[in-house]
Amino acid sequence: MKITITPESVSIEKLLAELQNAFPEYKYSTSKNIFGTYIIVAKSAYVGAAVQIRKGMITVYGMNPALWVRLLMGGLILIAFTYSGMKKVEKAIGGYLQTKYGK
């Protein structure tokens, strides 16, 4: 899910604090990749989402939050079983961010 925002309107730290307040039932951490820092939102080791800010937009996508799960057989088998759960977390987080920051 891609949410268009005003560039520089929010930082990753501010977004992390807001998500922790809005969704206290999830666990949060940050990580880095070649595109920058992103927030990992974990419902469990198998179900979660990632939130990243890039070029005037917030991107939210479902993912397996635990690195060992993603590495296990490429995550392909586990994705088949956890896809609907990841989409639920993605929609919850994305819907909140859309109402808060969306243009």
Q: pTM of whole model > 0.85?
A: no
- C-beta atoms surrounding 78 within 10 Å: 18
Q: CA-CA-CA-CA torsion for 12, 9, 96, 45, nearest 10 degrees?
A: -10
| Helix, strand or coil, per DSSP, at residue 68 | helix
Total number of domains constituting the chain: 1
Tell how strand 2-4 and strand 57-63 pair up.
antiparallel
pLDDT at 85: 82
Instruction: Tell me which residue range forms the domain holding 15.
Output: 2-101
Pairing of strands 2-4, 27-33: unpaired
Rounded Cα gap, residues 90 and 62, in angstroms: 5
Give average pLDDT by consecutive 10-residue segment, the chain, 103 residues: 87 94 96 90 89 92 74 60 81 93 82
